Structure 1
Amino acid sequence: MRVEIDALTVEIAGARLVEDVTLRAGSGQLVGLVGPNGSGKSTLLRCVYRALRPSAGSVRIGGEDLRTMTAREGARRLAALPQEVVAEFDFTVAETVAMGRLPHQGPMVRTTDEDRRTCEAALESVGAGHLADRGFLTLSGGEKQRVLIARALAQQPQVLVLDEPTNHLDIAQQLEVLALVRGSGLTALTALHDLNLAARHCDIVHVIDGGRIAASGPPHDVLTPGLLAEVFGVRAHRVPHPETGALQLLFDRLPSA
């Protein structure tokens, strides 16, 4: 399911946080948004999963404008993992993941055997099946993140939107989660801080700076020393991974003028 963002602009209290952003995520692609803190990545993603209404522009999923869909229709197509999730009630992990099934249930909510199997499979896929009976609030940050990803997968969407999905995860879990997202076959749009994770896992990256797209394309073509110096203020050394040959980046401070 393709995602199309056209001329998206977000202005809040007179400040333009995102300006005239146009990008595409092709069906089954993992598309990364990278950029400095405050560059507009999260604001852009919040428009995609309808937590924020843009001042101008549109978001289309499968060619259909997101604003024309009901909340239920939108939730059947798109699942989101925001950067900050507030949980006030101590549901069990199994109950938390089961919330992902709500868009597929009628007004008289009743969990079916299919719902239970879907939730169990989602938990197992993120290596959290053993947490099913734990209270969500008792989990570590990394465990919570894995459970929330499982909830998104249990929703059985066609599009995943993930804002810093590797936050709070150790290195092995970061690699596992992004490999899982990439292997899901879903169209995924994700903001990432770690440029090496973006280079390894993303089909396309969009570098956002000051609310605008500074560069777009395959990671190897986009993450150049010149661009990284200009946007991130670092000196980058590009090296191939010794086994896969994938782009890896080593960083130094820019020399003083």
Structure 2
Amino acid sequence: MRLDITGLSVAVAGRRLVHDVTLTAGSGRLVGLVGPNGSGKSTLLRCVYRALRPAAGSVLLDGADLHALTARESATLLAALPQEAGTDFDFTAAEVVAMGRLPHQRGSGRPSAADREICARALARVGADHLADRGFLGLSGGEKQRVLIARALAQEPRVLVLDEPTNHLDIAQQLEVLALVRESNLTVLTALHDLNLAAVHCDELHVLSAGRIVASGPPHDVLTAELLAKVFGVRAHRVQHPETGAVQLLFDRLPAS
């Protein structure tokens, strides 16, 4: 499923935080948003998964206006993993994943045998089936993230929106989570803090600065020393990953002017 964001502007408390953003995530593509803190990445994503309404512009799924759909209709097409996506109640991991089936349920809302099978497959797919009976609050950060991704997969969406899915994870867990996302074969729009992870895993990048897209394209073309100095205020040295060939970055401070 194709995701199109067209002329999107977002205002919060009378202040415009995102300005006229246009981008496309093609079917099955992993598209990244990068930018410094406060650049508008999370605000933009919140509008995409309907936590905010746009002040202008549209979010389209295969041409259909996402904000014109009912909440249930949109939830069968798009799943989101916000930065703070946990729960204050100590449900089991299996119960958390089962929440992903709610948009598909009717009547009593009780999970069917088919729902339970879908949830079990989602947990197994992320390598977390052994966590099914564990309390969610007692899981490690990486385990929680696996369970939340399983919940999103159990929702059976066609588009996945992720806001900093590797936050607070160690490097092995970061690589595992992004590999799971890549292997989902869904259309994915994600904000990422780590530019090197974004360069390796994303098909395309959009760089935000002060709520505007200032560069777009394949990571190798976008992550230039000039852009990184201008947007992030750092001096970057580009190297090539010895196995994948992806651009990787080494950073130091800009020389004093």
> What is the TM-score of this pair, normalised by structure 2?
0.97
Structure 1 residue 100 corresponds to structure 2 residue 100: yes
Partner of 1:85: 85
Question: What CA deviation, in whole Å up to 9, does each residue of 1:10-41 have, x standing for no partner?
Answer: 12223210001011100000000000001000
Q: Which letter maps to 2:208?
A: I
Q: What do residues 136-187 of structure 1 show as CA deviations (whole Å, max 9, x unaligned)?
A: 1112222211111110011010000000001122211211111121121100
Q: Quick one: which amino acid aligns to residue 201 of structure 2?
A: H
Per the alignment, residue 165 of structure 2 pairs with 165
Q: 1:145, 1:168 within 8 Å by CA — same for their partners in 2?
A: no
Measured in 2, the distance between the counterparts of 1:141 and 1:106 equals 33
Q: After superposition, give the CA deviation of every residue in 1:78-119 in whole Å (9 maximum; x if it has no partner).
A: 000001125122111100000001111112223222212211
Corresponding residue of 2:26: 26
Q: Cα distance, 1:199 vs. partner?
A: 0.3
Once the two structures are superposed, residues 173-218 of structure 1 have per-residue CA deviations (whole angstroms, 9 ceiling, x without a partner) of: 2111111211211000000000011100101100000000010000
Aligned partner of 1:152 in structure 2 is 152
Contact 1:119 1:150 in 2 (8 A): yes
Residues 123 and 86 (structure 1), Cα distance of their counterparts in 2 relative to 1, 3 Å cut: closer
Aligned to 1:59: 59
CA distance in 1, matches of 2:177, 2:142: 11
Contact 1:75 1:157 in 2 (8 A): yes
Moved over 6 A (4+): none
Question: Using the alignment, how far apart are the partners of 1:247 and 1:125 within structure 2?
Answer: 29
Q: Deviations over 1:223-251 (max 9, x none)?
A: 00000000001111111111221111111
- Counterpart-to-counterpart distance in 1, 2:34 and 2:138: 31
Deviations 1:31-70 (A, max 9, x none): 0000000100000000000001111111011110012111
What CA distance in whole angstroms lies between the structure 1 residues aligned with 2:186 and 2:215? 24
1:15 is aligned to 15
State the partner residue of 1:245: 245
The one-letter amino acid of 2:123's match is L
Q: Which residue in the other structure is 2:117 paired with? A: 117
Verify the 8 A CA contact 1:142 1:167 in the aligned structure 2.
no
Compute the RMSD of aligned alpha carbons.
1.0
- Give the corresponding residue for 1:69: 69
Rounded to whole Å, the distance in 2 between the matches of 1:223 and 1:254 is: 16
Correspondence 1:225-244 to 2 at 5 A: 225-244=225-244
Distance 1:86 1:184 in 2: 21
Residue 4, structure 1, aligned to residue 4, structure 2: yes
Q: 1:202 maps to which residue?
A: 202
Match of 2:141 in 1: 141
- Tell me if 1:49 matches 2:49: yes
Q: Distance in 2 between matches of 1:138 and 1:222?
A: 40
Paired residue type of 1:226: E
